[in-house]
Chain A
Amino acid sequence: MISRQLLRAVLTAEVATVLVCLAIVATHALMLWRRQRADVPRLVQARAALAAAIVDPDVYLDRVAELRRFPRRVRRGVVEELAVSVGGEEGRRVGRVAESLGLSAAARRRCRSVWWWRRLLGAHQLNVHGGGDEILPRLFDDPHPAVRTQVIEWAGDVRREDLASRLVSSLQDPSALCRHTAADSILRAGAPLVDALARELSSRSGQEQADLMAVLARRPDPRYRQAALAAAGDDLPAVRSAAAAVLGGVGGPEAAEPLKSLLGDADAKVRAAAVDGLRRLDDQHAAPDLAPLLRDPSFAVRKAAGAALAALGPGGILLLRHYLSDGDQFAADMARYSLDIAALHTPGAGVVRH
């Protein structure tokens, strides 16, 4: 027998919980609806005021005063919205508006919070509209990876030479997200950091050097050549394959011989990188060295060799055709596949149909 009190208690608890849930849903839905209705005209006015403040210094103070009258979320919304779409001088002006509106100061305060989500928000805002030159570098060592990610992103955007070393060190961060962001930021930073990155490349060794070189291979610069030539003989396969990728991208007459010597490397990834490097060098004399790699036991190496031969012009195409009747079925298959792919890009470029 179940007591009526127990039944009543369970029923009351369930009904009360459902009612509270429904009240939350209804209140939140109504609040959002009202806010959206009110914000549409506000956003239009705030955007106009912000645009005027940026393009016309004469009305700056008036427009900033006008912006101050909007709710904080509207101010923050329009400033962030514009800041992500402009750069250079206009970006700096948006940053000045953010400073005048107190948004940067609030963001800096958030960066000092004990709560990671507040630090994240603060770092993100400073990352977007600026104003964090002092405080953001301190967050490179933040315990939360999402906060560090913001700082790494920022360092890539501001392109300061003094931050290059921190950016490169972030490639060894325990968090995969930070490592990914560091690689992306190094690539985005581009020309202003090349000298600093070349110095970092020469001064690091082992896995650190391999990771940095693998990133820099995507945006090669002749200033990385010396370090890559030296690394081509490294003990670590990861360093050798990254060096091959850099040498292929950098080019130059001295790159071909080290790359050819790596074609016989014991590690398949190094061989594939060397093949790809020779393709990028566009050295037609390399075709006879590449052709035997169509018989390589590694699929990646065979595929890279086929693509390289197809890219090296008539000499490579002739060799591919020769391999169509090779005794090694894998080599013949890859030759045929590479010829077909080449025909897709350059129809009638001397490719036989089968």
Chain B
Amino acid sequence: MGDFARAVLVTFEWVVLGYFLLVNTVYLLLLLSAAWETCNHLFLERAERRWRVLQSDIAPTVSILAPAHDEAPTIATSVRAMLGLSYPNLEVVVVNDGSGDETLQVLIDNFALVAIHPLVRRQAEAEPVRAVYRSTSHPNLVVVDKEHGGKADALNAALNVAGGRLVCALDADTIIEPEALQRMVRPFISRDDVVAAGGTIRIANGSEVRDGRVVELRVPRRAVAGFQVVEYLRAFLFGRLGWNRLGGNLIISGAFGLFDRQATADAGGYAHDTVGEDMELVVRLRRRSYEQKGPTRISFIPDPVGWTEVPESLRVLGRQRDRWHRGLSDALGRHRRVFLNPRYRAMGLFVYPYFVLVELLGPVVEALGLLGLAAGLVLGAVDLSFAILFFLLAYGLGIVLASFTLVLEELSFHRYERLRDRALLVLWALLESVGYRQLTVLWRLRGIWKFLRKRTDWGVMKRRGFAETRTPEHQAS
């Protein structure tokens, strides 16, 4: 091998090493910002009397948008849980998105639905509405029956019917805590410049779920779900919380987010031709707000919790992650004019570049770095000490950050009460960087590849279902 090739390989490896250092420096900034935000949040939370919102005449009206497709077995329980949320001015808009099963009939039977004249504002593009129903037993329940058009289309149909000042996009398979909405409206009450807010999503695998509520929280015993608990904690507790102070978020989880209805409708609602409609909407909302000098803030609140069930099979998880990465690529690609554009201030100069360089291209750099390292070792271009340094910076710092996240969780919300669960969480945090993280790199690379080939399929998402989720003791009995 020629000297020139060696020099190129070594230089490339140093560049990758520098990239990891830069990324970890940004992570450290995010961590500090998240710690600051957490302290502030806890001080404010301590002095807050949330029950006042429950009795308040002026709490903003919230419409929950719940798309449903072929969910006959669980839809009645899900809707009851939504209607049972502790919030005074609540409307629930369920959209039967062309289900082939008995979803609509189950809703009609369980909630005494009566068809009314479908008065639908065409603010966001959606497939034709077949009928609109109101419940005679629950005056705040509206059901929209429409042609099948997918999740984004169903959310748009719900948006066209919703009457609340705020709309809460909620996945049918997400369980939100009864008080979550009271907490979630806080940014809209506290500030004039908030256009959307997101809450934390936590993982319910292994926990006991009863009547649509997580009654006993456990850390999953299975490694794949356990690693995802650490991932979610890191993403929400320091990723999104950290961005609150460093230029604002670009992501609100599609499973649980609260939006200003008028701003969302004015922006045209959710985009149909993307698999990452939640992120695309948030980027579009922020971009429009800068362009039209409207409210631009996307807030993240750490304690309104939505519970979700994550895939426990690597195959399904891989499909999910590749879809997420396609969504990210698509959203960033559509709004590429924001990149380093001073017109969009912090979003254009800092947040968007971070998402491109770290979130989008991170797996590419990591994979190339690993391949280059292997090639360098085989060809003798790099020595063992360099390889060790590479791993220490690439993965060792990952473990350090995961540990910081655990500290943040422990000192703030400490949702896992049992010592055994906390110990298990530590174990998953220490092991997550080895093996699992490399797999996520592969899945994300596949996402980029599929995005470049313009693949827009969602893939089949198999879940065990909350109803079947039991603690080991329950399973034993």
Partner of A32, one of B400, B406, B414: B414
Cβ contact within 8 Å between A25 and B407: yes
Cβ contact within 8 Å between A21 and B47: no
Cβ contact within 8 Å between A337 and B116: yes
- A227 near B: Cβ within 8 Å? no
Chain A residues whose CB sits within 8 angstroms of the CB of B476 once the complex forms:
none
Q: Please classify the interface of chain B as helix (H, G, I), strand (E, B), loop, or mixed, using the class held by over half of its residues.
A: helix
**Known A25-B410, A120-B43, A340-B116: A14·B189 in contact at CB below 8 Å:** no
Partner of B399, one of A14, A32, A299: A14
Partner of B389, one of A7, A299, A341: A7
Cβ contact within 8 Å between B404 and A21: yes
**A156: nearest residue on chain B (CB-CB)?**
B52
Q: Name which of B68-76, B242-250, B359-367, B390-398 contacts chain A.
A: B390-398
Cβ contact within 8 Å between B119 and A25: no
Instruction: List A residues 58-89 near B (Cβ within 8 Å).
Output: 84
Query: For the complex, what is the distance from the CA of A283 to the CA of B414, rounded to whole Å?
Result: 58
Query: For the complex, what is the distance from the CA of A339 to the CA of B134, rounded to whole Å?
Result: 13
Cβ contact within 8 Å between B392 and A121: no
Chain A residues whose CB sits within 8 angstroms of the CB of B119 once the complex forms:
333-334, 337
**B46: nearest residue on chain A (CB-CB)?**
A121
Interface string of B45-86 (1 = CB under 8 A from A): 011010010001110000000000000000000000000000
- A11 near B: Cβ within 8 Å? yes
Cβ contact within 8 Å between A175 and B419: no
Partner of A218, one of B57, B115, B393: B57
CB distance from A308 to the nearest CB of B (A): 16
Chain A residues whose CB sits within 8 angstroms of the CB of B139 once the complex forms:
344
Q: Name which of B167-175, B201-209, B350-358, B380-388 contacts chain A.
A: B380-388
- B216 near A: Cβ within 8 Å? no
Cβ contact within 8 Å between B407 and A1: no
- B117 near A: Cβ within 8 Å? yes
Cβ contact within 8 Å between A25 and B47: no
**Known A17-B403, A21-B407, A354-B117: A175·B43 in contact at CB below 8 Å:** no
- A146 near B: Cβ within 8 Å? yes
Instruction: List B residues 154-195 near A (Cβ within 8 Å).
Output: 189-192
Cβ contact within 8 Å between B134 and A176: no
Instruction: List A residues 19-45 near B (Cβ within 8 Å).
Output: 21-22, 24-25, 28-30, 32-33
Partner of B392, one of A10, A24, A30, A344: A10
Cβ contact within 8 Å between B411 and A28: yes
Chain A residues whose CB sits within 8 angstroms of the CB of B116 once the complex forms:
337, 340-341, 344
Chain B residues whose CB sits within 8 angstroms of the CB of A10 once the complex forms:
389, 392-393, 396
Cβ contact within 8 Å between A18 and B399: yes
Chain B residues whose CB sits within 8 angstroms of the CB of A124 once the complex forms:
46-47
Chain A residues whose CB sits within 8 angstroms of the CB of B411 once the complex forms:
24, 28
For chain B, give the interface size range: 35 or more
Most interface-central of A4, A22, A30, A183 (chain B CB within 10 A): A22
Chain A residues whose CB sits within 8 angstroms of the CB of B393 once the complex forms:
10
- A180 near B: Cβ within 8 Å? yes
- A2 near B: Cβ within 8 Å? yes
Chain A residues whose CB sits within 8 angstroms of the CB of B404 once the complex forms:
21
- A328 near B: Cβ within 8 Å? no
Query: For the complex, what is the distance from the CA of A183 to the CA of B393, rounded to whole Å?
Result: 53
Chain A residues whose CB sits within 8 angstroms of the CB of B148 once the complex forms:
none
Query: For the complex, what is the distance from the CA of A30 to the CA of B410, rounded to whole Å?
Result: 11
Query: For the complex, what is the distance from the CA of A24 to the CA of B396, rounded to whole Å?
Result: 19
Partner of A177, one of B189, B385, B386, B403: B189
Chain A residues whose CB sits within 8 angstroms of the CB of B115 once the complex forms:
340
Partner of B191, one of A153, A176, A354: A176
Query: For the complex, what is the distance from the CA of A49 to the CA of B388, rounded to whole Å?
Result: 63
Query: For the complex, what is the distance from the CA of A25 to the CA of B119, rounded to whole Å?
Result: 55
Query: For the complex, what is the distance from the CA of A30 to the CA of B156, rounded to whole Å?
Result: 48
Partner of B403, one of A22, A29, A32: A22
- B456 near A: Cβ within 8 Å? no
CB distance from A238 to the nearest CB of B (A): 16
Chain A residues whose CB sits within 8 angstroms of the CB of B430 once the complex forms:
18
CB distance from A320 to the nearest CB of B (A): 11
Query: For the complex, what is the distance from the CA of A7 to the CA of B384, rounded to whole Å?
Result: 11
Interface string of B107-118 (1 = CB under 8 A from A): 000000011110
Partner of A337, one of B44, B58, B117, B388: B117
**B414: nearest residue on chain A (CB-CB)?**
A32
**B188: nearest residue on chain A (CB-CB)?**
A176
Query: For the complex, what is the distance from the CA of A84 to the CA of B46, rounded to whole Å?
Result: 14
CB distance from A243 to the nearest CB of B (A): 19
Chain B residues whose CB sits within 8 angstroms of the CB of A22 once the complex forms:
403, 406, 426
Chain B residues whose CB sits within 8 angstroms of the CB of A343 once the complex forms:
114
| Interface contacts beyond A4-B385, A341-B134: sample of 13 additional A-B pairs, CB < 8 Å, sorted by A | A2-B383, A7-B388, A14-B399, A14-B400, A18-B400, A22-B426, A28-B410, A183-B58, A184-B58, A337-B117, A337-B119, A344-B136, A344-B139
**The 9 residue pairs across chains A and B that have the minimum distance between CB atoms:** A21-B403, A124-B47, A340-B116, A337-B119, A177-B190, A117-B43, A2-B385, A336-B117, A337-B117
Which A residues form the contact surface with B (CB < 8 A)? 1-4, 6-7, 10-11, 14, 17-18, 21-22, 24-25, 28-30, 32-33, 84, 117, 120-121, 123-124, 145-146, 150, 153, 175-177, 180, 183-184, 187, 215, 218-219, 299, 333-334, 336-337, 339-341, 343-344, 354
